[in-house]
Structure formats: structure tokens, C-alpha cells
Amino acid sequence: MNVRMLFLSLFPVFCIAASVRAETLFSLPNNFDAIEFYSVDEGSGYSDSDGPIVQVGGSAANGRYSIATRSFAWYDAARRRTVPALVFYPSVKRQRFPVIVFSHGLGGSPSRCSYLGSAWAARGFVVVLLQHPGSDENVWKGKIRILDELRVAYKTSWNGRTRALDIRFALDQLESLASNGDWLGSLIDLGNIGVGGYDLGSLAALLVVGQLPPDGGSSLADSRVKAVLAMSPPINPPQGNYRNVYAAVDVPAFFISGTDDDGIIGSTKASQRRIPFDSMSGNSRYLIVLQGADHQVYGGHFFSFRARSDQSFQRAISRASALFWQAYLKNDEQAISDLAGYRLNSLLGVAATVERRVLSHSDAARSVPESAPALLPQQHSPVPPPNGPSLLTETFPRTRLYRAMVANIEK
């Protein structure tokens, strides 16, 4: 009885310690030399003093560019809402790069997505990692009942509307940067914009490219967006006819989920994460299902003993998604060919299932050239049949030969 009382008295202390240590137990990628994050400032607009400029290592994510970061606290006067952002960008001048706006998951933060920011920026993209007050890490940090706090936040943010409006507002701010002579704006190619996210962030991204809002409200689609990345998208069963829900999504889409990707707060099961991929019909789309990946790999588990497996999955995610952005934001024919071929699978470095539905009739300008070499066995031709979509599915285990092929490709 005394042991039980001792345990009950110490349990709150353990919870507080866990919540305080959660952020420090998550480590940034090894290629970071320095980075600074920010606090929300209720200012208006932006200026050079919005946040520090931080140089990051010159070989970030094995990419071509040295990268740096800059933080903002954009204030939306119409909604009386501050939208913080951490921007990763190639540290060069006199060159323009496509833009990616990314939304974190419930209880997340830009810092937990920094592996994506560094990998994409190093490959020649300006990456805007948004922070969403009210559904970010501040709802649980320092709290004892973490899951209860997240459930409360979920009840006010489940429909993704506020987040989608944050994304659209961020696009407005990027246009302002480009038009007012800001040096960062001079790097931005506003003609090639992609959006992405994980968990609730992926719902927001899909809303911006045409998914019907689950709350039945007005459309949140934004024609400025050319491609979308949705990792672990939540599914809302009350929406019913999913083909109708995703009918207006007509940009190239890249989906990532895991075999163990059941929701922690929401009710979406791992097997349901593929519904948007199966229901779309308007453009080319790709689906990767990571073997053994659960719902926390996208932002990293809180405890360090999972760090090694997290890094393997995050490396796979950053490589595959970078190839997608290269294909559809830079109109790179070789990257499109690689997406349709074996190279996508070999880049992952983890066991995964890959599916593709490439539409030749609506994506002709970006389809794989007929002269492209066959990158798959004959039954998995990278060129889709002329009468519509092709479904390509492969599963690649991590054999010794497989790892050797990956190592050879990375050289």
C-alpha cells in the first residue's frame, strides 16, 4: 500500500519532467551547424527585424546549396492572428527558387519539421515552415495531461480551416516580400508554389488545393498552388462520397503514410490514409506506405530511444518528397521519369510500398517522355497507357543488395 501511495505521489512529477524534456530529447539533423528559433511577436506585417538570419551547414542533406534561415511573425489584421514562420532558403544571390509552404501536425512546430526545411532548401527551394497557434506545441508543453490538452485543441482545429487560411495568408505575405523589394522576396519564384503538411497540416494543404472542407463551409482552394504533399492525411468519415470530396484536387499529389499510422487523437486508421490517393482523379499522384512507420515519425518521437528509426524514416521522406518537388515545381523531366521508375524506390532506403497513378491525358506536359529508358521491369513501364491512369505497385525490402544499390546511387 505504501509503495502504491509513493507511486501516485511521484507520478505527476514524472509527467512534468517528461513534458519539459520532450523537446530536448528530439535532436535536429547532424548537418545543422547552428539554428535559432523565435517567439511570437504581436507585430504587424514584417521587416528585417522580424527574426535572425542564421547560416546553416554547407552540405545540408547532401544537397547542392548552402542554406540559411530567417524567421517571421506575420500578423493577419483581418483575423487578429499572428502566424509565425521559419524560412529555409538557398544562401545565394541573383537566382529564383520555387516555394514550398509546409504545415506541421497537431501539437507540432517548425523545429520538428526542420529536417524537411534543410533537405528541400539544399536542393534549391525556398521553404516556409508555418506555426499554427492554438494547435501547435504550446498547447501541451509544460502540461501534465498532455493528451487531454491535445484533444481540446483538436476539437477547435479538426476541420483544418484556420490552418488553410494561415497557408493562404502566408502566400500573400510571400507576394508582398517579392513586390516590396525585400531581398528574400528576390529569391522567390511565385509561379511555382507547392504546399504540404502532415496530420492536420496535410488536411490544410489538401483544402488549399481543392478538397471539400469537412465542416461544409466555403471552399479554401487557392489557384496559386501547383503541387501538394500530404503525409498521414486525416479522414473524416461523415464526408461520405470521397470521390466527390477530392474531385476538385487537380494538381500533382504525393502521399506518404505508414503501416502503423493510426491516429493518436483523431480516429483515422492507417488503412484509411490512402483514401485521398484512391479517390482523386484529376492529376498524377503517388503513394508511399512506409513499413513499420507510425503516426509520430513525421515530426519525431518525444523519446530518444526512437531517434534512430525516426531518422531512417525522415531521411526516406525527405529524399522522396524532394524528388516530387523537383519534378512538379521545377518541371524536371528526369525527376518525373525517376518518380515513375525504380529510382524512387531506391531513394527510400527503408521497406516501403510505392503506388503510382500517372495520368497521360491531363498531365501530358509533365508526363514521362516516350524516349525515356525503361527504369522498371516491362510489366511496370514508366509510360502510362494512352487510355488513362496506370497503377504501379512495388514493395522493396531492405536486403543487402538493396542497401548496396542505395549507397551506389548516393555517391
Residue 57 belongs to a domain with what CATH number? 3.40.50.1820
Identify whether 255 is part of a domain: yes
Identify whether 19 is part of a domain: no
Identify whether 18 is part of a domain: no
Identify whether 249 is part of a domain: yes
Between CA 150 and CA 135 the distance in angstroms is 8
Identify whether 240 is part of a domain: yes
Single pTM value for the model: 0.75
Instruction: Name the residue range of residue 213's domain.
Output: 31-410
Written as one letter, the residue type at 82 is T
Between CA 404 and CA 249 the distance in angstroms is 38
Phi/psi at 69 (nearest 5 deg)? -130, 155
Identify whether 215 is part of a domain: yes
Query: pLDDT tens track of the chain, all 411 residues?
Result: 555 555 445 444 444 344 433 332 223 333 322 222 222 222 222 223 334 444 444 433 344 899 999 999 999 999 999 999 999 999 988 899 999 999 998 888 899 899 999 999 999 999 999 999 998 888 888 888 988 888 888 888 888 999 999 999 999 999 999 999 899 999 999 999 999 999 999 999 999 999 999 988 999 999 999 999 999 999 976 666 899 999 999 999 999 999 998 988 888 899 999 999 999 988 899 999 999 988 888 888 766 666 667 888 889 999 999 999 999 999 999 999 899 887 888 888 888 899 999 876 334 333 333 222 222 222 222 222 233 333 344 444 443 433 443 344 333
Q: How far is CA 124 from the centre of its chain?
A: 16
Between CA 230 and CA 253 the distance in angstroms is 7
Q: How many structural domains compose the chain? A: 1
Identify whether 54 is part of a domain: yes
Between CA 314 and CA 116 the distance in angstroms is 8
Identify whether 25 is part of a domain: no
Provide the terminal-to-terminal Cα distance of the chain, rounded to the nearest Å: 62
